[in-house]
Each structure stands twice: as C-alpha cells, then as structure tokens.
C-alpha cells in the first residue's frame, strides 16, 4: 500500500511558516470576537519583523536599536588548510570574494525570514538548514559587514582601502586583551530574538571554512524605554547626544566623505571598544560623585545645571563658589561635540572563574593590579559609527588624559572596521571592492 503524501511540506520556508502563523492568529482573534469572547489582552502593534537588506547603506545602522546583538570577528587564513602552503594575495582575494558573495546571499535570506542555500559541501545526507529559528519571525534581524585594515592588505587591495582605515592606537590606560581585539572581518548581528540571532551566527560562520577563522565574539543586550533613551549598567542614559536618523547632522557624522574611494560611497567606519565597568566600586560611590563623574543627573539625563536631557550643556556655568557646575574632568566635557553615532549594547558575563581559558589576562607591560582574581565582567560594548575615525581617536586621547570615569572603567577590547555601503538586488558586498 503506497504511503500517503504528507499534508505539509517539511521544506516549507521559514518565511511562509511565520506568515502562516500570523494569518492563523488573525483568524483566531476574529473568531473570538464573533463568538462574543473577551480578549485578555488587546493586540499591540509592534515593529515590522523584517528589515530591508538592500539599500544605499547597510542595515543595522540608521534604525532603532534591537534588543540583542552579537559581534563576531574573523581572521583571514594566510595558508591553505589542506596543503599548509602560504596563500598568495590573489588566492586570498579570490577566497574573500567568494565568501562575500555567499555571505550576502545568506544574510539577505536570513533577514527576510527565508532559509539560506545549503552549504556547497553538503550532500543529500545532510540537513539543508540549521532550522534553529524554524517557525520564528526574523524579529528585526540585521547583519552588517565590516572589514579590518589587514583584510585589504592580505588580499592585495591596499590601494582600494578606505582612506581613513588604520589600526586604532593603544591608548594610555588600555588593558587590551588580544583575544577581544582586532579582526579582518566583522559581522554585527542584531535582532529582538536571541534564538534568531544564534541561527544567523551559525549560518554565517558555517560558510567561512577555508577562508577565515573565528577570532572573537561578544554578546550584548539593550532595553529601550518607550520614547526614552536607553541606560547603561551604570544606570545613566547612553546616547543622549546622538543625531536623529533623518537629520543632516546624522549624514555628516556617519556616512563616508567625498575624499573616499568611489566604491566606498555610502559606507562608514565602526569603532568597537569593550569597556569593563567596575560596578562594585561604582555602586559604592555617592550619588554626587556619580553625577559629577558623568556630568549629568542620573535620573533625568540632564546636564548638571540643566533641567532637561536635551538641553545644551553649559560648560561655562559656575556655582556659588565660582567652580564649574560641570567639573573639568567630567566625561561629557571630554566627548562634547565629537561627531559620532553611538549604537552600543550592555553586556554582563558575570564572574570569570575559568582562569585556565586566559580570557582575562592583561596585555604585557600593563598594570595587572586592577584585575581581581575572579573579576566581574560586565559593562559596555561601545559601538560608534563615524565618517572619520580621527575624531574618535582625538576624543579618546582626551579621555585618557583626564576623565573622571577612568576610575570606574577599563578598556579591554578594541577594533576598527570599514563598513562598505549597501547593495542593490543582484549585487553583493564584493561590489566595487575588486575593481
């Protein structure tokens, strides 16, 4: 007796699955109304589950932040994995071009809730997809590509590198862990569902075999009150001075200048800094010390001496004793008027107790006495998009010289990446890069 055909196809694309679920929910809700049943909760309109992949700029920048993020850095392989022979620049370039083509198609599919193409190495005996997010909507998933300075050199593309792409210097006071710094390629994967992000990470990582290897990952989270600025783990608002997405200031701050290579038009630079906060010490500091270290009131986000969060900072204001209302070493003085768009996330990894992993070793020559034996690793994954990294470097130099926050933070990771422009349908992230 022949087997009956299944009523549903196991290969139904995930996009159709979550669309069908939404339609079913709508029908069910209507049925409840017609039956005279009271709904426990009224439907609340939320953000669209999908973010467009194609456009002038890459996704994941000029949009409201999602709730979760994973930053993934890779190193290009200098040798052939099978033969162990050194790869030529031409060979590295060919592998990089193929990876960017594959990554583009994969990212586009994942962001719209579809299944990416199976891996080229897979046979019929393998599952076609990860299926980790089967039945889930994309939850505003975005995947953003960045390229480090060495990626251009290893692929023989130094003459096509963005003009302002250079390694960040080691700033005074940095205690950088090489395991959390640098990188040739970066994927910024953001979304509102960590399971969807996990599938995206695994799907993208699976395609790097033979071209690059994982260097580091960092995971962050962020909760944004409705109509308000999100807060960092120090309890203060973070991102108050950000320009609006549609403002001329945003375009001037974020997108590449006219002096850049033509192919990079519409691109940007991503500055990444892992900033560990000394939260136990911070919690013991008085309210006045906390506010003066930042230069803002914690509750309202207003600058000291001001009433509202968005009021212009008055750096010339004096108190009754003739002293600056906003202290000379307050953090807001150090970063005022620095053109950058912050898109940071909080992180909290708890206590680092597995010392054998050597994930908390400080760099050679730095003061290791500030580390506890099993330190609490929590703080900020500082992420800023800029048109010119030189402005950030200048600001960081000022902060290193004199910033009251230095007592409560340690910079443990650092990286810079050029973020290529967006692509149109039929194009890939390799567009224009290889001539």
Distance CA 303, CA 311 (A): 7
Q: What is the CA radius of gyration of the chain?
A: 24
Nearest CA to 239 among 224, 229, 225? Answer: 229
Distance CA 99, CA 151 (A): 13
Residues near 104 by beta carbon (within 8 Å), at least 6 away in sequence = 423, 427, 428, 429, 430
User: Which residue is listed with tokens 């002293």?
Assistant: 323
Q: Please report the pLDDT score of residue 113 as a whole number.
A: 94
Backbone φ and ψ for 243, nearest 5 degrees, come out as -75, 155
Please give the model's pTM, rounded to 2 decimal places.
0.85
358 to each of 178, 255, 348, how far by Cα in Å?
A: 11, 38, 18
Q: Please report the pLDDT score of residue 26 as a whole number.
A: 38
- Write down the number of H helices and E strands in the chain: 9, 9
Residues near 325 by beta carbon (within 8 Å), at least 6 away in sequence = 304, 305, 314, 317, 318, 319
CB 408 within 8 A of CB 378: no
Q: Please report the pLDDT score of residue 355 as a whole number.
A: 52
Q: Please report the pLDDT score of residue 354 as a whole number.
A: 55
pLDDT tens by residue, the chain, 435 residues = 444 433 333 333 454 445 444 443 333 333 333 333 333 444 444 567 999 999 999 999 999 999 999 999 999 999 999 999 999 999 999 999 999 999 999 999 999 999 988 887 776 777 767 778 889 999 999 999 999 999 999 999 999 999 999 999 999 999 999 989 999 999 999 999 999 999 999 999 999 999 999 999 999 999 988 888 999 999 999 988 899 999 999 999 999 999 999 999 999 999 999 999 999 999 999 999 999 999 999 999 999 999 999 899 989 999 999 999 999 999 999 888 889 999 999 999 988 765 544 444 444 444 444 444 557 899 999 999 999 999 999 989 888 888 999 999 999 999 999 999 999 999 999 998 987
DSSP 8-state code for residue 159: G
CB 190 within 8 A of CB 72: no
CB 240 within 8 A of CB 309: yes
Q: Which residues pair with 348 in a beta bridge?
A: 378
Q: Which two tokens stand for residue 410?
A: 């340690």
Q: Please report the pLDDT score of residue 47 as a whole number.
A: 63
Distance CA 185, CA 75 (A): 7
Q: Please report the pLDDT score of residue 359 as a whole number.
A: 46
Q: Please report the pLDDT score of residue 24 as a whole number.
A: 38
Q: Please report the pLDDT score of residue 374 as a whole number.
A: 53
Q: With both helix axes pointing from N to C terminus, report the angle between 89-111 and 194-205 in degrees, rounded to the nearest 10.
A: 150
């Amino acid at each position: 007796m022949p087997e009956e055909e299944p009523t549903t196809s196991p290969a139904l694309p995930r996009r159709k699955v979550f669309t069908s679920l939404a339609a079913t929910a709508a029908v069910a809700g209507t049925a409840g109304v017609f039956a005279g049943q009271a709904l426990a909760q009224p439907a609340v309109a939320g953000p669209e589950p999908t973010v467009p992949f194609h456009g002038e700029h890459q996704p994941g920048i000029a949009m409201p932040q999602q709730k979760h993020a994973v930053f993934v850095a890779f190193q290009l392989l200098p040798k052939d994995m099978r033969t162990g022979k050194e790869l030529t620049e031409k060979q590295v370039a060919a592998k990089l071009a193929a990876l960017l083509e594959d990554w583009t198609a994969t990212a586009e599919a994942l962001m719209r809730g579809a299944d990416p193409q199976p891996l080229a190495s897979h046979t019929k005996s393998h599952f076609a997809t990860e299926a980790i997010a089967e039945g889930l909507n994309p939850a505003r998933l975005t995947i953003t590509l960045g390229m480090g300075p060495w990626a251009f050199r290893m692929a023989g593309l130094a003459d096509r590198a963005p003009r302002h792409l250079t390694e960040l210097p080691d700033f005074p006071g940095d205690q950088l862990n090489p395991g959390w710094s640098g990188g040739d390629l970066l994927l910024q994967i953001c979304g509102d569902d960590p399971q969807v992000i996990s599938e995206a990470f695994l799907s993208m990582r699976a395609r790097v075999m033979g071209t690059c290897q994982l260097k580091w990952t960092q995971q962050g989270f962020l909760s944004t009150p409705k109509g308000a600025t999100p807060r960092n783990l120090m309890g203060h608002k973070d991102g108050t001075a950000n320009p609006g997405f549609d403002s001329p200031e945003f375009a001037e701050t974020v997108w590449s200048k006219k002096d850049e290579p033509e192919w990079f038009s519409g691109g940007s630079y991503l500055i990444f800094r892992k900033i560990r906060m000394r939260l136990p010490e911070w919690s013991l500091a008085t309210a006045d010390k906390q506010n003066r270290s930042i230069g803002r009131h914690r509750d309202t986000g207003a600058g000291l001496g001001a009433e509202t969060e968005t009021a212009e900072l008055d750096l010339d204001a004096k108190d009754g004793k003739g002293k600056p209302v906003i202290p000379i070493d307050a953090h807001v003085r150090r970063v005022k008027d620095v053109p950058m768009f912050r898109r940071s996330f909080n992180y909290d990894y708890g206590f680092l107790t597995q010392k054998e992993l050597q994930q908390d070793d400080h760099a050679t020559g730095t003061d290791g006495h500030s580390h506890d034996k099993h330190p609490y690793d929590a703080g900020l994954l500082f992420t800023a998009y800029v048109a010119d990294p030189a402005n950030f470097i200048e600001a960081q130099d000022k902060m290193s010289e004199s910033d009251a926050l230095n007592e409560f933070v340690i910079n443990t990771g650092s990286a810079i990446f050029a973020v290529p422009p967006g692509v149109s349908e039929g194009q890939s992230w390799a567009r224009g890069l290889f001539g």
